[in-house]
Amino acid sequence: MSEIQATPQVTSAESGPDWQRVYRLMLTIRLFEERANDLYQRKIMPGLAHLSSGEEGVAVGVCTALRDDDYITSTHRGHGHCLAKGASADRMFAELLGKAAGYCGGKGGSMHIADQERGNLGANAIVGGSLGIATGAALSIKQRGSDQVAVSFIGDGALGQGVLYEVMNMASLWKLPIIYVCENNLYGEYTASSETIAGRPIERATAFGIPATEVDGQDVRAVYAATAEAVARARSGGGPAFLWCSTYRYFGHHVGDVDRGYYRSREEEQFWREQRDPISLARVWLEADGLVDAASLEELAEEVTHELDAAVEFAVAAPFPNPDQVATDVFA
């Protein structure tokens, strides 16, 4: 039945996934976003950029519990989801810069990266816009008799969209293999979620008979454990799940949002950065559990830095699309 579940016990380090890889992915996202920010500030990256720095634990914890052939849908703040699902940074940067080598040939940009090979059905610039897509993918999984699952990443702001309640109802009725992962970063644009969300968010899922879990999104182990449990249930026909992950975005709503004083305090930002950083927290227990030593983490950081610098270099040097591309891909 539709109970609100306790946060699952954190899996012991030994039985879990390759935690060093988990750490590496989180770091990759952090350094990717720093470079995206830099490219934007230097006016090399056009358009809008919504950075996910601070939210790496959710993207990586969830995607680590998925297979390559599982589906995800993502949001306007989607770089982390995309990398965590296995996309390569060079083609992502190329997309951010509108280059032909980008995942969408430059047609999508930051808010629309899709990576079909890794089951990423695309980021979406409409809040809640991919809820139907993800749930439809879950319907397709069921019809095809596959044991894949679908994950729909959404922000807390998407709780305002009525489509969420329509698809959760159907997902529950038809026992679809879909996991709704809500990243509660406390704000939708410049408004606190406390001003836009009535009641207890996870009860919106349990009202439809969907098991819901409150998860510490800054603890990648907890996110992984909660997702793994939901995935196992969904794969075996147990139907949907809802994860409400508390997290925080370090930057503004988008890179241009620098004067944030009117909606959130510096102290709050500092608290999350200093006390609740998912990467620093992971590092502490990784070292304490003897899974890694400081030296190997330094080495890893250097490796990732080199990789991402090379990816940026690739993207900057890559050519823009040929003008005739403007009229292709309109119809399949």
Ligand X SMILES: Cc1ncc(C[n+]2csc(CCOP(=O)(O)OP(=O)(O)O)c2C)c(N)n1
Q: Which long-range contacts (CB under 8 A, 24 or more apart) does 26-29 make?
A: 26/56, 26/57, 26/60, 26/220, 26/278, 26/279, 26/282, 27/279, 27/300, 27/301, 27/304, 28/83, 28/89, 28/304, 28/307, 28/308, 29/53, 29/56, 29/59, 29/60, 29/79, 29/80, 29/83, 29/84
Which residue in the set 106, 157, 240, 252 belongs to the binding site for ligand X (CB under 6 A)? 157
* Residue 242 β-bridge partners: 180, 212
Q: What is the secondary structure of 286-325 as a DSSP string?
A: HHHTTS--HHHHHHHHHHHHHHHHHHHHHHHHSPPPPGGG
Q: How far is CA 313 from CA 69, 81, 91, 189, 319, in A?
A: 30, 22, 11, 31, 12
Q: How far is the CB of 77 from ligand X (least distance, A)?
A: 4
Q: Which of 69, 190, 268, 302 binds another protein (CB under 8 A)?
A: 190
Q: Which residue is nearest to ligand X (CB)?
A: 155
Q: Does 162 bind another protein (CB under 8 A)?
A: yes
> Which listed option, ligand X, Mg ion, another protein, none, makes contact with residue 77 (CB within 5 to 8 Å by class)?
ligand X
Rounded to an integer, what distance in angstroms lies between the CA atom of residue 71 and that of residue 74?
Answer: 10
Amino acid, single-letter form, for residue 253: H
Secondary structure (H, E, C), 38-51: HHHHCCCCCCCCCC
Shortest Cβ 205–ligand X spacing (Å)? 16
Query: By CB under 6 A, what part of segment 43-102 binds ligand X?
Result: 76-77
- Among residues 43, 288, 323, 332, the one that binds another protein under rule CB under 8 A: 323
> Between residues 5 and 185, which has the closer beta carbon with respect to Mg ion?
185
**Quick one: what does residue 326 bind among another protein, Mg ion, ligand X, none, with the CB cut-off 5 to 8 Å set by partner type?**
another protein
Q: Give me the phi and psi of 70, to 5 degrees please.
A: -75, 155
Q: What one-letter code names the amino acid at 307? A: E
Scan residues 252-281 and list those touching another protein (CB under 8 A). Answer: 262-263
162/323 with CB nearer ligand X: 162
Q: How far is CA 41 from the centre of its chain?
A: 23
Q: What mask of x and - would describe binding to ligand X in positions 191 to 230, judged by CB under 6 A?
A: ----------------------------------------
Per CB under 8 A, does 48 bind another protein?
Answer: yes
Residue selected from 126, 232, 284, 310 as contacting another protein according to rule CB under 8 A? 126
* 44 touching another protein, by CB under 8 A: no
264: its two tokens: 């959130």
Task: Pick one of 155, 239, 240, 252: the residue that binds ligand X (CB under 6 A).
Answer: 155
**Least Cβ distance, residue 285 to another protein (angstroms):** 36
Size of the residue set binding ligand X (CB under 6 A): 14
Interface residues with Mg ion (CB under 5 A)? 155-156, 185, 188
Which is closer to another protein, CB of 71 or CB of 187?
Answer: 187
Nearest-CA neighbor of 212 among 61, 4, 9, 10?
4
Q: At what angle do helices 19-41 and 89-96 cross, to 10 degrees?
A: 20
Q: Which residues bind ligand X (CB under 6 A)?
A: 76-77, 125-127, 155-158, 185, 187-189, 253
Task: Give contact residues for another protein (rule: CB under 8 A).
Answer: 46-48, 98-99, 104, 106-112, 124-129, 157-162, 188-191, 195-197, 262-263, 320-321, 323, 325-327, 330
